[in-house]
Structure 1
Amino acid sequence: MKNLLPALLLLIAGIASAQQKFNPVLKKQLDSVMVLDQKYRDTLTWLMTPGKIDSIPQLRSMSASKAMSHYWALQSHIDSVNVVFVEKIFKSCGYPGKTLVGEPANEAAWYVIQHSPKIEQYLPMMKKAAESRELPFRLYAMMLDRQLMNQGKEQIYGTQATSAALKNGKKIGRYIWPIRDPANVNQRRKEAGFDQTVEQNAKRLGVDYKVIKIEDVK
């Protein structure tokens, strides 16, 4: 895995600057990036589900916390390599959207940044790609929500959940981060391209939806 970055950087060498026609080589590269982005995330999600670790034979000799640390270390290394790779693409081509790489490869760079500490830096690029239909708008909406949550502000589309303690120190498990104008969130979600309501999305995330105010989490 330590040789992954040089290999990826060699692959991108043939991408022409400002190229905006379909690039099958770059599409294949981003397909691979998407696979790598998810390589250990399913395992990590499984490990966070109570009682599931016992169903993974290769982990029975490890504690849940040790297994989590092990797989996060592996995924974090991949994530850091992926960030370097997509930043090279950004500098050469801008956002690699639908015109350049087709679908769903146009989502790969979004996933990499969504799983990185560089959301704030690249959020304007994601917005531009979404507004020009090079990237599904709902993905930009998700990234915007994550950035707002990271800043301690109300999210707009209700896509982000957290287990942060409330202001009084009380923990209530995972909940949907506070939403601006929650009464109209489902209309905003529909307009952004989501096919689930905030309540349905919360259920998908394993959360019982309830309205939480921003002043309760600050």
Structure 2
Amino acid sequence: MKNFLLLIILSIGFIPAHSQSFNELIAEADEKYDQEAYGESAELYEKALTNEAGSVGQNYNAACSFALAGDEEKSIYYLERAAKAGYKNVDWMKQDEDLKSLHDHEKWEEIVSIALANKEEYEKDFDKELQAQLERIYVEDQTLRHLLNPAKEKFGKDSDNMGYLWKLINKEDERLLDEVVSIIDEHGWVGRSEVGGKANTALWLVIQHAPLEVQEKYIPLLEESVKKGESSGSHLALLVDRIEMRNGRPQIYGSQITTNPETGEQVVHELADPQNVNKRRAEVGLGPLEEYAKHFGITWTVPEETNSSN
């Protein structure tokens, strides 16, 4: 019977029982990681990356899943693949809690050295002084904001403590905005090839927190930078949506979450052409809105188009 079945399969062509594309496997692996199903995530990454090299980030993520699943050898294997393919974010790799179990592995320092060499090669033509200035701004913009959720849990959303924290944040925002505006006016919207990703992101973070008129003034520079591949399309999408929302218009990419004043529940702010939002999101490197909304406890589905008749 087995031979007979084999002849049938060979005669019609082999059809896998569970055939998934590379991208589908990676997407499922990412989802399992988010669900903290690290063993399943690792298996899916391995299945995808066995026959395809994958990106630097995909190999790094596989290393994280294997480390969290308790398989240090496979984690080191994929981390080394990532490093040899060009991974360069050494600072993050060394502080990444996912990889903490690898720090005593005999190959850890070797991989760190490879990543460090990648970083030095990538940054050899950077404006080091400007990079350092913007990376400092990044830290100063984000530090107090990382204290918001812990403070809210400890003191309450409407407490005097939260009011004081926001007062400090607003004061810092004004100071950093003056500094960033001076940088942009002198150097333009400096891109990743000039100062690196973190420093480039600092520009967007500060402008994202700026008054509306400032956002509208500088968004054309960000648009041009994105066209050149020097800035993130997702950063542009978030700034576009914030500007549209602040002008009382529907957002374009679905990045802005607001609170329903009647129910107190979080909702996706009004969208222009919601049927095609995921296409627009994909064009700037954002995942489906359904998945994004889940992070805020929101169930969002693409509304059906309604045809109006005369």
TM-score, normalising length: structure 2 = 0.53
Q: 1:144 aligns to what?
A: 240
Return 5+ residue gaps in structure 2 as ranges.
1-124, 304-310
> Does the 8 Å CA contact 1:178/1:211 hold for their aligned counterparts?
no
Q: 2:161 aligns to what?
A: 67
Equivalent residue letter for 2:274: P
Deviates more, 1:203-212 or 1:101-110: 203-212
Aligned-residue offset at 1:113: 0.5
CA, structure 1 residues 134+63, in 2 after alignment: closer, same or farther (shift >3 Å)? closer
Q: 2:216 aligns to what?
A: 120
Q: 2:55 aligns to what?
A: none
Equivalent residue letter for 1:198: L
Aligned-residue offset at 1:26: 0.8
Q: 2:57 aligns to what?
A: none
> Does the 8 Å CA contact 1:130/1:137 hold for their aligned counterparts?
yes
Instruction: Tell which has more relative contact order, 1 or 2 (C-alpha 8 A, sep 6+).
Output: 1
Q: 1:25 aligns to what?
A: 129
> 1:180 aligned to 2:272?
yes
> Does the 8 Å CA contact 1:22/1:99 hold for their aligned counterparts?
yes
> 1:199 aligned to 2:303?
no
Identity of aligned residues (%): 33
1:175 aligned counterpart, secondary structure: strand
Equivalent residue runs for 1:99-114 within 5 Å = 99-114=193-208
From 228, 244, 247, the counterpart of 1:132: 228
CA, structure 1 residues 191+71, in 2 after alignment: closer, same or farther (shift >3 Å)? same
Kindly report the root-mean-square deviation, in angstroms, between the aligned alpha carbons of the 2 structures. 2.1
Return 5+ residue gaps in structure 1 as ranges.
1-20, 54-58, 213-218
Aligned-residue offset at 1:164: 5.0
CA, structure 1 residues 184+113, in 2 after alignment: closer, same or farther (shift >3 Å)? same
CA, structure 1 residues 47+200, in 2 after alignment: closer, same or farther (shift >3 Å)? farther
Equivalent residue letter for 1:178: E
- CA–CA separation in structure 2 for the residues paired with 1:106 and 1:71: 26
> Does the 8 Å CA contact 1:97/1:107 hold for their aligned counterparts?
no
Structure 1 stretches of at least 4 aligned residues deviating more than 4 Å after TM superposition: none
Aligned-residue offset at 1:210: 5.9
CA, structure 1 residues 90+163, in 2 after alignment: closer, same or farther (shift >3 Å)? same
Deviates more, 1:109-118 or 1:99-108: 99-108
Q: 2:59 aligns to what?
A: none
Aligned-residue offset at 1:138: 1.1
2:235 aligned counterpart, secondary structure: helix
Equivalent residue letter for 1:202: A
CA, structure 1 residues 163+36, in 2 after alignment: closer, same or farther (shift >3 Å)? same
Equivalent residue letter for 1:125: L
> Does the 8 Å CA contact 1:199/1:209 hold for their aligned counterparts?
yes
> Does the 8 Å CA contact 1:161/1:174 hold for their aligned counterparts?
yes
Equivalent residue letter for 1:43: L
> Does the 8 Å CA contact 2:138/2:198 hold for their aligned counterparts?
no
- CA–CA separation in structure 2 for the residues paired with 1:28 and 1:74: 23
